[in-house]
Amino acid sequence: MPLFFLAGALLVLRVGPLYMQAPAAPAKTSVPGLPTASDAADFESDPRAFCASRLKKHGTAFVTAARGGATFIGDNAALAAIGTSAVAAPVPPELAPPFATLPAGDADPFAAHAEAFNSVCYATIFEWIPQYKEAGFSTFRFEDFIDGRVRKLRASVRSLMLRATAPYTLGVSADRLASTLGFASDKAGNAALDKAYAAYVSSRLGASSTKSGPFGLPSLGGSSLLGGLGGGEIAKFEQGMNQWASSQGIESASALRQLASSVEQTTALLCNLLAATQLHPKAAAALAIEQAAVLKGKDPKLPISTAELEAMPLLNSFVRETMRVYPPCRPAARVLKADLAVGAVKLPAGTLIAPEPFVAHFDPECERLAISAAKAAYVQLRRMFDQVQLGAEPSPVPSGYPLHTIDERVEALLKPKMYYELQRGVKKLRF
């Protein structure tokens, strides 16, 4: 029997020189747990370990000082109960639901822009494949011997998702995104937008360090994600978003939050899929067989359709399991309107509760669009590269809060398949 139940059931009283046991008291109903000053930092540093240790001690409901002093819950009955408006009122989460501004319906919203998404996805990933110059030792130029396939994975995926999802987030095509937000429409303008957006996200979500990664080489986008970017470029991005929001009759802060939430959570999910593939090679092999069978005989340049994604049940299961084990975001906290029983524990009205995936192991309910977009990009990456090898340091295991994904510094060694090497005109170095 857990200690907190024993403490509630037994009370030792002193009567003169003797001790006697009082009659058994009713089972304790207060929430277990002892909040500490380090709870918030410990949870944000490693949500999985934080929840695992307290779950083992206290069960599926325990009070913490994390997430604003929330009580974490994971009991199935309680999770079902808080879904009713009569029991709980939602608190705005750190991240908005991805693509929440799109109209709800039975159809997957990805289908409407699948061809455009895939076109941007293919073109962007294709540029990740370098064009080598013929070189020999006589040149003695360092850049001739850099393996340009090393990239900062999360920064690269972020840039891809920012453009590929533009029709969903801002209602503009990828080639109009930079100009819509006040940047030049050429390659330099796109690069400036990438840096400005990344700096904005870093300032709002506390993105981790961006120094050179474990391979000791810079990514193709530069050795630093922010590249010494100042506040002026962030202000320029915010101004562009403000002007767009004004033209749409939308509150600018809400528009900024929705854009970042959609792009970052989709980016996190795709990065987590790639990390999970490396961490579970048997599953990766099965996925490769399924994908090869579905795409057999099809032009490599053809888009990944929703029908093809639906024909990959193993991929769907893999995505769902990845979301369970490495949830990219947290569900919104809620304030109880009425008392709620969690087993033997009674949560009174007014309690701030946080449904936590690492306690409940339940799906964080990202929108279907984010899942479909991540699936399509994952299939495209696995179609174009024989190898996507993540560096060992920092660890490629997803971590962190509010986004739970790979570290910003994780680099990937990409080995393109021969078809794409030939299309890109890759030349091997001569030694």
Does residue 64 form part of some domain?
Answer: no
Euclidean distance between CA atoms 426 and 408, whole angstroms: 28
Say whether both 159 and 298 belong to one domain. Answer: yes
Residue 384 to residue 386: CA distance in whole angstroms: 7
Please check whether residue 99 is in contact with residue 113, taking contact to mean a CB–CB distance below 8 angstroms.
no
Note whether residue 325 is domain-resident. Answer: yes
- pLDDT of residue 156 exceeding 70, the answer is yes
Q: How far apart are CA 215 and CA 209, in angstroms?
A: 16
C-alpha distances out from residue 166 to 67, 190, 422, Å? 31, 13, 30
pTM check: above 0.85: no
46 found inside a domain: no
pLDDT winner (highest mean) among 107-116, 132-141, 315-324: 315-324
Confidence of residue 227 (pLDDT cuts 50, 70, 90): very low
Residue 335 lies in a domain: no
Instruction: Give 2's pLDDT tier (boundaries 50, 70, 90).
Output: very low
Number of domains making up the chain: 2
What pLDDT, on the 0 to 100 scale, is given for residue 427?
A: 62
**Mean pLDDT throughout 223-249?**
76
Sequential DSSP letters for 97-139: PTTTTSPP-SS-GGGGGHHHHHHHHHHHHHHTS--PPP--TTT
Residue percentage of the chain with pLDDT more than 70: 80
Q: Has residue 74 been placed in a domain?
A: no
Same domain, 169 and 313: yes
24-38, 183-197, 273-287, 346-360: which range is least confident on average? 24-38
| Statement to judge: residues 7 and 147 lie in one domain | no
Q: Residue 15: which domain range?
A: 1-30
My answer on whether 25 and 148 are in the same domain is no
Residue 239, pLDDT above cutoff 70: yes
Q: Is residue 245 part of a domain?
A: yes
The CA distance from 191 to 185, in Å, is 10
Together in a domain, 320 and 200: yes
Residue 21's pLDDT band (cuts 50, 70, 90)? very low
277-286 contacts at long range (C-beta below 8 A, 24 or more positions apart): 277/382, 277/388, 278/388, 278/389, 278/390, 278/396, 279/396, 279/397, 283/318, 286/314
Both structure tokens of 329: 């975001």
Neighbours of 68 (CB within 10 A): 11
pLDDT tier, 107 (very low <50, low <70, confident <90, very high otherwise): confident
Quick check: 5 pLDDT over 90?
no
| Average pLDDT for 392-412 | 91
What's the pLDDT score for residue 148? Answer: 56
**Residue found by looking up tokens 């957006």 in the block:** 197
Share the mean pLDDT of the chain. Answer: 81
- What was the pLDDT predicted at 46? 85
- Alpha-carbon Rg for the chain, nearest whole angstrom, is 25
Same domain, yes or no: 10 and 159: no
Q: Are residues 147 and 15 part of one domain?
A: no
According to the per-residue pLDDT averaged within each range, which of 8-17, 204-213, 275-284, 415-424 is highest?
Answer: 275-284
Please list the alpha-helical segments (H only) found in 1-46. Answer: 3-9, 39-45
pLDDT digits (tens, 9 = 90+) for 27-73: 446 889 989 999 999 998 888 889 989 999 998 899 999 999 999 99
Q: What is the mean pLDDT of residues 119-133?
A: 86
- Mean pLDDT to the nearest integer, 170-179: 96
pLDDT bin (cut points 50, 70, 90) of residue 206 is low
Q: Is residue 351 part of a domain?
A: no
Please give the pLDDT value at position 141.
58
Does 80 score more than 70 pLDDT? yes
Confidence (pLDDT) at 400: 85
Q: Does one domain contain both 301 and 154?
A: yes
Reported as a single tens digit per residue, the pLDDT across 285-311 is 999 999 999 999 998 888 999 999 999
Confidence at 133, pLDDT banded by 50, 70, 90: low
Q: Point out the least confidently predicted range of 182-196, 239-253, 323-337.
A: 323-337
23 with 128, same domain: the answer is no
pLDDT given at position 198? 94
Beta carbons within 8 Å of 186's beta carbon, 6+ residues apart: none
Establish if 219 belongs to a structural domain: yes
Whether 223 and 370 map to the same domain: the answer is: yes
Co-location of 9 and 119 in the same domain: no
At 145 the pLDDT is 53
Is residue 390 within 8 Å of 278, Cβ to Cβ? yes
Task: Write the CATH number for 417.
Answer: 1.10.630.10
* 26 lies in the same domain as 122: no
**pLDDT surpasses 80 at 164:** yes
